[in-house]
């Protein structure tokens, strides 16, 4: 099933892409790979997992972060149907020392990708604990995506639109 159709079936609407918070871009494409910069949950969510935030809440924040990352994919590619495969996910969890449930937290994002993309959403992954994350966000996730070219140039659709103006 098309990823775009699956989103509609699930009743999911992607939000607007948030701008980078420092001197970087949301995504860089080289060849058929799209590298997404790390994103966190939308809004002003802050806290340390295992202290201020439960594993279940952090799972939800990881899912929200996955939605934010899919919004970037769509913004860069024009359609989520151009995602050939989610290749790699790096999930970072802002947690108390000794916290060991990072994989359970990052499953929030991984489960979402499989739910939307099916087999194409299964990926290699690292889930690691951090002593802190920017602005005290509970999770940050970055993703590498393989892109289906379908006869299109490797320049993202977003950049093509800017070049035409």
**pLDDT tens sequence across 81-104:** 999 999 999 999 999 999 999 999
Number of domains, the chain: 1
| Domain containing residue 95 | 3-11+24-146
In a domain, 157, yes or no: no
pLDDT at 155 over 70: no
Residue 76 lies inside a defined structural domain of this protein: yes
Over residues 27-56, the pLDDT tens digits come to 999 999 999 999 999 888 999 999 999 999
Query: Which helix (H) or strand (E) covers residue 129, if one does?
Result: strand 124-130
CATH of the domain at 59: 3.30.1330.40
Model confidence pTM above 0.85: yes
Q: Name the CA radius of gyration of the chain, rounded.
A: 16
Classify residue 59: in a domain, yes or no.
Answer: yes
Name, in order, each residue with C-beta under 8 angstroms of 110's C-beta and a sequence gap of 6 or more: 66, 89, 121, 123, 125
Residue 16 lies inside a defined structural domain of this protein: no
Say if 159 falls within a structural domain: no
**Domain-located, residue 19:** no
Look at the block and give the residue holding tokens 């024009």.
78
Taking each continuous run of H as one helix and of E as one strand, the counts in the chain are 4, 5
Smallest CA-to-CA distance from 82 within 113, 28, 120 is with 120
In a domain, 65, yes or no: yes
Contact 33, 87 (CB under 8 A): yes
Residue 153 lies in a domain: no
């Amino acid at each position: 099933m098309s990823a775009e159709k699956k989103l509609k079936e699930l009743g999911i609407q992607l939000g607007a892409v948030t701008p980078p918070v420092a001197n970087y871009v949301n995504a860089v494409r080289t060849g058929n790979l799209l590298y997404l910069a790390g994103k966190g949950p939308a809004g002003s969510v802050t806290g340390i997992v295992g202290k201020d935030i439960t594993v279940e809440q952090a799972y939800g924040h990881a899912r929200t972060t996955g939605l934010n990352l899919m919004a970037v994919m769509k913004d860069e590619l024009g359609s989520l149907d151009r995602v050939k495969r989610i290749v790699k996910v790096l999930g970072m969890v802002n947690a108390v020392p000794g916290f060991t449930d990072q994989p359970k937290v990052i499953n929030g994002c991984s489960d979402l990708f499989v739910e939307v993309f099916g087999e194409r959403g299964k990926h290699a992954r690292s889930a690691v604990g951090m002593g802190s994350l920017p602005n005290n966000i509970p999770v940050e996730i970055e993703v590498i995506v393989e892109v289906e070219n379908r006869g299109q140039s490797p320049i993202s659709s977003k950049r093509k639109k800017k070049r035409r103006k």
